[in-house]
Structure 1
Amino acid sequence: MMLSISRTCLRGIYSCHWTSPKGDRNRACCWLSFLSFVSILALSWMYVCFIAFNDHNDVNCEAFKALKKWVNWYMIVMIISAVLATYCLLLLVFGLLHLAIREPLDLHWLHKVFLFLGLLTVTLGTAGFCIKWKEEWQTIYMSFQATAPFLQLGAVVALTLISWLVFQSYHTAQTAACKVFIMVTFLVVSAAVFLCPLAICSPCITSNLPPKPALVGHRGAPMLAPENTMMSFRKSMECGVVAFETDVQLSKDMKPFLMHDDGPSFLLRTTDVKETFLGRDADMHANFTLQELQTLNAGEWFIRTDPFKSVSSLSKEDKREANNQTVPSLSELLVMAKKHNVSLLFDLKNEKNSTGFHNSDSYYTAETITNSSISPDKIWWLPPEYRHDVRKVSPGFKQMYNNVQEMYADGGSFLNMKYSSLSTHEISELRKNNVSVNLWVVNERWLFSLLWCSGASSVTTNACHIFKSMSKPDWQLEPNMYKGIWISVDVISLLLMFLLFLCQRRRKHVFHPNPRESGVPLLSF
Structure 2
Amino acid sequence: MFSIFRTCLRGIYSCQWNSQTRTQNRACCWFSFLCLVSILALSWMYVCFIAFNDHDDVNWLAFKTLKKWVSWYMIVMVVSAVLAIYCLLLLVFGLLHLAIREPLNLHCLHKVFLFLGLLTVTLGTAGICIKWKEEWKSVYMSFQATAPFLQLCGVVALTLISWLVFQSYHRAKTAACKVLIMMTFLVVSAAVFLCPLAICSPCITNNLPPKPALIGHRGAPMMAPENTMMSFRKSMECDVVAFETDVQLSKDKKPFLMHDNGSSFLLRTTDVKDKFLGRDGDVNTNFTLEELKTLNAGEWFVRTDPFQSVASLSKEEKMEANNQTVPSLNELLVMAKTHNVSLIFDLKNDENSTGFQNSDSYYTTETIKKSGISQDKIWWLPSEFRHEVRNIAPGFKQVYHNEQDMNADGGSFLNMKYSSLNAHEISELREKNVSVNLWVVNEPWLFSLLWCSGASSVTTNACHILKNMSKPDWHLEPNIYMGIWISADVISLLLMFGLFIWQRRRKSHVFRQNTSERSYPLLPR
Same fold (TM over 0.5): yes
Deviation per CA, 1:75-105: give whole Å up to 9, x if none. Answer: 0000000000000000000000111111111
2:193 aligned residue:
194
1:518 aligned residue:
none
What is the SS of the residue equivalent to 1:437? strand
Amino acid at match of 1:203: P
Amino acid at match of 1:72: S
What is the SS of the residue equivalent to 2:421? coil
Q: 1:511 to 1:29 in 2, by over 3 A?
A: farther
What is the SS of the residue equivalent to 1:153? helix
Q: Does 1:153 align with 2:155?
A: no
1:133 aligned residue:
132
Deviation per CA, 1:92-123: give whole Å up to 9, x if none. Answer: 00000111111111101110110001000100
Alpha-carbon distance, 1:24 to partner: 4.2
Alpha-carbon distance, 1:17 to partner: 1.1
Verify the 8 A CA contact 1:52 1:136 in the aligned structure 2: yes
Verify the 8 A CA contact 2:23 2:104 in the aligned structure 1: no
What is the SS of the residue equivalent to 1:324? coil
Find the aligned partners of 2:19 and 2:399 in 1 and give their Cα distance.
71
Find the aligned partners of 2:506 and 2:247 in 1 and give their Cα distance.
74
Find the aligned partners of 1:506 and 1:28 in 2 and give their Cα distance.
29
Q: Note the 1:98-117 alignment, pairs <5 A.
A: 98-117=97-116
1:71 aligned residue:
70
2:174 aligned residue:
175
Deviation per CA, 1:200-225: give whole Å up to 9, x if none. Answer: 01111000111000000000000110
Amino acid at match of 1:456: A
Amino acid at match of 1:161: L
Alpha-carbon distance, 1:26 to partner: 5.7
Q: Note the 1:8-27 alignment, pairs <5 A.
A: 8-24=7-23, 27=26
Deviation per CA, 1:346-392: give whole Å up to 9, x if none. Answer: 00001110111111100110110011110000000000111011111
Find the aligned partners of 2:180 and 2:354 in 1 and give their Cα distance.
71
Q: Note the 1:88-487 alignment, pairs <5 A.
A: 88-487=87-486
2:510 aligned residue:
511
Verify the 8 A CA contact 2:212 2:455 in the aligned structure 1: yes
Alpha-carbon distance, 1:72 to partner: 0.7
Find the aligned partners of 1:441 and 1:158 in 2 and give their Cα distance.
34
Alpha-carbon distance, 1:511 to partner: 3.0
2:522 aligned residue:
none
Verify the 8 A CA contact 2:204 2:478 in the aligned structure 1: yes
Find the aligned partners of 1:263 and 1:511 in 2 and give their Cα distance.
78
Amino acid at match of 2:282: D
Find the aligned partners of 2:398 and 2:463 in 1 and give their Cα distance.
24
Verify the 8 A CA contact 1:219 1:247 in the aligned structure 2: yes
Find the aligned partners of 2:168 and 2:25 in 1 and give their Cα distance.
14
Equivalenced residue count is 513
What is the SS of the residue equivalent to 1:239? coil
Alpha-carbon distance, 1:433 to partner: 1.0
Amino acid at match of 2:247: V
Amino acid at match of 1:317: E
Verify the 8 A CA contact 1:39 1:88 in the aligned structure 2: yes
1:521 aligned residue:
none
Amino acid at match of 2:166: F
Calculate the TM-score normalised by the size of structure 2. 0.97
Find the aligned partners of 1:92 and 1:501 in 2 and give their Cα distance.
23
Range with greater deviation from structure 2 (280-289 or 17-26):
17-26
Amino acid at match of 1:342: V
Find the aligned partners of 1:48 and 1:466 in 2 and give their Cα distance.
22
Find the aligned partners of 1:67 and 1:51 in 2 and give their Cα distance.
25
Find the aligned partners of 1:53 and 1:317 in 2 and give their Cα distance.
30
Find the aligned partners of 2:21 and 2:369 in 1 and give their Cα distance.
85
Amino acid at match of 2:105: D
Q: 1:183 to 1:25 in 2, by over 3 A?
A: farther
Deviation per CA, 1:368-418: give whole Å up to 9, x if none. Answer: 001111000000000011101111110000000010111111100000000
Find the aligned partners of 1:356 and 1:392 in 2 and give their Cα distance.
15
What is the SS of the residue equivalent to 2:243? strand
Calculate the TM-score normalised by the size of structure 1. 0.97
Find the aligned partners of 1:139 and 1:16 in 2 and give their Cα distance.
42
What is the SS of the residue equivalent to 1:283? coil
Range with greater deviation from structure 2 (501-510 or 271-280):
501-510
**Could you tell me the percent identity over the aligned residues?**
82
Deviation per CA, 1:252-301: give whole Å up to 9, x if none. Answer: 00000000000110000000000000000000001000000000000000
Find the aligned partners of 1:79 and 1:448 in 2 and give their Cα distance.
24
Alpha-carbon distance, 1:424 to partner: 1.3
Find the aligned partners of 1:146 and 1:404 in 2 and give their Cα distance.
25
Find the aligned partners of 2:472 and 2:157 in 1 and give their Cα distance.
27
Verify the 8 A CA contact 1:229 1:327 in the aligned structure 2: yes
Structure 2, unpaired ranges of 5+: 515-525
Alpha-carbon distance, 1:21 to partner: 2.1
Find the aligned partners of 1:453 and 1:26 in 2 and give their Cα distance.
54
Amino acid at match of 2:273: K
Find the aligned partners of 1:15 and 1:26 in 2 and give their Cα distance.
13
2:521 aligned residue:
none
Amino acid at match of 2:259: H
2:84 aligned residue:
85
What is the SS of the residue equivalent to 1:134? coil
Verify the 8 A CA contact 2:213 2:240 in the aligned structure 1: yes
Cα RMSD after superposing both structures: 1.1
What is the SS of the residue equivalent to 1:511? helix
Amino acid at match of 1:80: V
Verify the 8 A CA contact 1:20 1:104 in the aligned structure 2: no
1:520 aligned residue:
none
Structure 1, unpaired ranges of 5+: 515-525
Alpha-carbon distance, 1:460 to partner: 0.3
Find the aligned partners of 2:21 and 2:331 in 1 and give their Cα distance.
78
Verify the 8 A CA contact 1:21 1:106 in the aligned structure 2: no
